[in-house]
């Protein structure tokens, strides 16, 4: 992927407890993204969230939830993201979990490796 190019950001919201055959859904998505050769992906654990059920999940000590929100962000060229969308659909079907998938256009300003 070239710096200063047009790309897309795929954002996937899932629950930490969503699984596919005992593997967390977010981990399965990340592994599939790597296998597909996508430019980069990050999974973020949320501090608080709610979805269609309106059940608030929080990381407060007194109300510790084991199903915190997880957001996966994947950025790459439009064609590569489009090719990955069926994989996301398949993983959601296999997990039988809920979630949200969004897509937005982004501009890559810098994409480089460190000097290590």
Number of domains present in the structure of the chain: 1
- The average pLDDT across 102-115 equals 88
Biggest alpha carbon distance in the chain?
A: 47
Alpha-carbon span 102 to 111, nearest angstrom: 22
Q: Which domain holds residue 31?
A: 5-108
Q: What is the pLDDT of residues 84-105, one digit of tens each?
A: 999 999 999 999 888 999 999 9
- The average pLDDT across 7-16 equals 95
Residue 116 lies in a domain: no
Q: Give the pLDDT band (50/70/90) at residue 24.
A: very high
Look at residue 3 in the predicted model and tell me its pLDDT.
63
The CATH number assigned to the domain holding 57 equals 3.30.70.120
| pTM (predicted TM-score) | 0.85
Please identify which residue in the block is written with the tokens 């090719």. Answer: 83
Look at residue 49 in the predicted model and tell me its pLDDT.
79
What is the distance, to the nearest Å, from the Cα of residue 52 to the centroid of all Cα atoms in its chain? Answer: 18
Look at residue 57 in the predicted model and tell me its pLDDT.
65
């Amino acid at each position: 992927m070239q710096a200063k190019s047009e790309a897309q950001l795929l954002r996937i919201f899932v629950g930490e407890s969503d699984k596919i055959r005992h593997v967390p859904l977010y981990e399965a998505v990340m592994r599939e993204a790597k296998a597909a050769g996508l430019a980069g992906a990050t999974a973020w654990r949320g501090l608080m969230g709610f979805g269609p059920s309106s059940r608030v999940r929080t990381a407060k000590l007194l109300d510790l939830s084991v199903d915190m929100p997880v957001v996966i962000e994947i950025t790459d060229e439009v064609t590569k993201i489009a090719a990955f969308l069926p994989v996301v659909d398949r993983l959601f079907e296999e997990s039988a979990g809920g979630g949200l998938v969004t897509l937005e256009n982004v501009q890559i300003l810098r994409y480089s490796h460190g000097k290590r």
